[in-house]
Amino acid sequence: MRLFWELTKLSFQRQLTYRAALVAGLATNLFFGILRASVLVALYGARTEVAGMSIRDAITYTALTQGIITYLSIFGWYDLMNSIASGEVTADLLKPLSYFRFWLAQDLGRAIVAFFLRGVSIMLLYMLIYDITLPHGIEQGLALTAAFSLSWFVSFAWRFLVNLAAFWTPNAKGVGRFAFGIAWVLSGFFMPLRFFPAWFITLCNFTPFPSMVNTNIEIYLGLLTGAALWQALLLQVVWAVGLTLLCQAILRRGVRHLVVQGG
Amino acid sequence: MNRRYIQKLGFTFAIYWRLIAIQMRAQVQYRVSFLLEVLSAAITMSMFFISLSLVFARFGNLAGWTLGEVAFLWAIVEVAFGLMDMIFSGFDPINFGRRVRQGTLDQLLLRPVNITIQVLGDDFVLRRLGRICEGFIIFAVALKLAHIDWTLGKLLYLPCVVIGLVCFFGGLFIVGATITFWTVDSIEAMNILTYGGSEMLSYPAHIYPDWLRRTFMYIVPALFLNYYPALYFLHKPDPFGLPAIMPFVAPLVGIGLLWGSLVFWRFGIRHYQSTGT
């Protein structure tokens, strides 16, 4: 376990060194956030509430989603497949730590930095421009902490799984682009899932994507309470466990398949 | 124009064609893989528009614009950005920055061929056809929903608008690439203009806050490239009351920006100092 935390710490420190990239990243996230908020405000028009979301909630929704892009990293993460292409994977597989946990540790360090420097910062910047909804109460705070943590885990397991494609095909990037591409819409990132027709929401709920983004949003905005909230958290746990097991099973087959090109 | 100049021009184009022909051959070598990439790009990109239309059902309009009218804006941007991303990929600041960092640009500079043509021929991303196809599908949706009164003028002007946008986005790539001469790494702030710009142009300009709209009209004149032409095609009044000529400046603005970016690029090349790697 010490090795796990060492890796987390190293990755944490590595992320902290890129300060100029942080400023540029925040500016980009904020810019897109303002565009998306403008679209939602224009769609709302004279309406004050749509599907239980006030206009303020809708703006907060854009802040939240822009804030968690880097934290969840679900729209593009090719580190693992790159390490397979470069052959580094051989050294990584020899580490005295399971391959899954080796990447989990590093991603944890990355995610913690991203959560505060990119996520919290975006919320603060938004507060300078817009009047946004803030979470309140210990209960909601605890639920949010659980949801955010679980959503990171689910997103990691999904990214790990997608990256495993590199054990089989040299064109794993293409697989990744598709797998990460569909997440934009199905996770509730592009538009709040509540705005969609019922059949579409049902469809999304058969995928792990809402557990990565939508659950966080609905809990943050106080749209999920009581039994529904517990159900959403439970679903996140189910996806986390299910995807992890799937990752392990596929990894076992992949390792047997691995051919590293020397050079 | 004398004969030697024309000969030289012919030679340059022949080189360019050779360069991109090699790229294209290499990219379609694995046929199934290539087709899947194009298809998956088309699917993932169209999902955005599909979800917008699903959500639109609940709202009816976007600040007075129907789904078909938004589709018109969206389609033009998608086709233009896809074309640009296919043709100007050599100038993509991320790829080009790598060349500067690793010193591989020096190899190109040593060759007796125009450097701009070489960088342009450095990468030709055929799989962007996916995004272009998606743009055409959305354009079909726009045609079906928006009821545009087509005239000969509109028919002839439409490709000019697309060319204007391609030039504009291409110019941004060139500026971004040139900046890496000094910064070495590609600067993420350029993404605001390229990817942010394409996102912004996909929706009608009057939904944005005034400061943002003005910035993208008078500092980076992006909104003249598709919003104003769209007003002409869709026969909509101009909410900002600018002169009636505005819908028709798009190709000029686009070509002007591309020209300006090339001037900056040549300035950059003249002052280029290798990183020494």
What DSSP designation does B65 have? B
Q: What is the pLDDT of residue A12?
A: 83
Residue A67 sits at the vertex; the CA angle it makes with B41 and A20, to the nearest 5 degrees, is 90
Q: Of the candidates A34, A39, A44, which has its C-beta nearest B203's C-beta?
A: A39
User: In this structure, which amino acid lies at residue A199?
Assistant: W
8 Å CB contact between A262 and A90: no
Report pLDDT for B1.
Answer: 59
pLDDT for the residue B33: 85
- Residue B209 CA to its chain's centroid (Å): 24
Q: How confident is the model at residue B81 (pLDDT cuts 50, 70, 90)?
A: very high
Name the minimum distance, in Å, from the CA of A196 to any CA of chain B. 5
Residue B35 has what pLDDT? Answer: 92
pLDDT 10s digits, B202-254? 999 999 999 999 999 999 999 999 999 999 999 999 999 899 999 999 999 99
For A27, half-sphere exposure in the C-beta direction (CA atoms, 13 angstrom radius) is 13
**At a CB cut-off of 8 Å and minimum separation 6, what does A69 contact?**
A29, A75, A118
Q: What is the mean pLDDT of residues B185-208?
A: 88
Task: Look at chain B and count its residues.
Answer: 277
pTM of the predicted structure, to 2 decimals? 0.91
pLDDT tens digits, chain A, 263 residues: what are they? 888 888 888 888 888 877 777 888 899 999 999 999 999 999 999 999 999 999 999 999 999 999 999 999 988 899 999 998 888 888 888 888 899 999 999 999 999 999 999 999 999 999 999 999 998 889 999 999 999 999 999 999 999 999 999 998 888 888 999 999 999 999 999 999 999 999 999 999 999 999 999 999 999 999 998 999 999 999 999 999 999 999 999 999 998 877 666 54
Q: Does B189 contact A41 at a Cβ distance shorter than 8 Å?
A: no
pLDDT score recorded for residue B133 = 96
d(CA B148, CA A88) in angstroms, rounded, equals 57
Whether the CB-CB separation of A174 and A166 falls below 8 Å is answered with no
Instruction: For residue A257, give the H/E element and its range.
Output: helix A226-257
What confidence score (pLDDT) does residue A171 get? 81
**Is B41 near chain A, with CB under 8 Å?**
yes
Return the minimum-mean-pLDDT range out of A123-137, B103-117, B147-161.
B103-117
How far apart are alpha carbons A36 and A61 in whole angstroms?
Answer: 10
Rounded-to-integer distance, Cα A87 and Cα A211, Å = 33
Query: What's the rounded mean pLDDT across residues B185-196?
Result: 82
- Residue given tokens 């934290």 in the structure block: A71
Helix (H) or strand (E) holding A50: strand A49-50
The SS3 call for residue A49 is: strand
R_g (Cα) of chain A, nearest Å: 19
Euclidean distance between CA atoms B82 and B128, whole angstroms? 6
Region B80-95 average pLDDT? 93
Pick the residue with more confidence: A140 or B274? A140
Residue with tokens 């990565």: A212
Per-residue pLDDT at B226:
93
Q: Beta-carbon neighbour count of residue B260 at 10 Å? A: 13
What distance in Å separates the CA atoms of residue B168 and residue B162, rounded to the nearest whole number?
A: 10
CA proximity to A111, closest of A220, A11, A30:
A11
- pLDDT score at B275: 74
Residue numbers in B near A181 (CB within 8 A): 40-41, 43-45, 47
Q: How far is B62 from chain A (nearest CA, A)?
A: 5
Residue to mutate among A185, A200, A202, A209, with most B CBs inside 10 A, is A185
What ipTM does this complex have? 0.91
Alpha-carbon distance of A217 to A239, in angstroms, equals 17
A28–B200 CB contact, under 8 Å = no
